[in-house]
Amino acid sequence: MNLTVGLLTVPGIGNFLAMTIMLEVGDIERFAKVGNFTSYCLCAPAQRLSDGKSKGSGNRKNGNRYPGWAFSEASQLVRRYNARFGRDYDRKAA
């Protein structure tokens, strides 16, 4: 299945965001685990903790910021324009 077609089925992702994600990510098969993809998109916290104390920010600049931006935009769009997701967001934010 074409990655763009799959992305268009996700609520909040339209043509522009799907193309941005597709072009920036490339071949999705290169990520062995979901966590690797999340880290690449800079959607995971990158910090080192030792005994509950911060020991630096780690590899906070490794990855690609554009897919993370696209997923962030999609989450805001779906929250704003989809009633069901908006209610879920409001409930969790309260």
Domain coordinates in residue numbering, the chain: 3-47+56-93
pLDDT given for residue 32 in this prediction: 93
- Report pLDDT for 39: 85
> What is the SS3 assignment for 91?
helix
Calpha distance 91→31 (Å, rounded): 33
Which alpha helices (H) appear in 1-94, and where do they start and end? 3-8, 15-25, 34-40, 65-81, 83-93
Instruction: Kindly report the pTM of this predicted structure.
Output: 0.74
Which pLDDT score is estimated for 91?
Answer: 92
Q: What is the pLDDT along the chain (94 residues), one digit of tens a residue?
A: 566 778 899 889 999 999 999 999 988 889 999 988 888 888 877 666 777 677 666 656 678 889 989 999 999 999 999 899 889 989 998 8
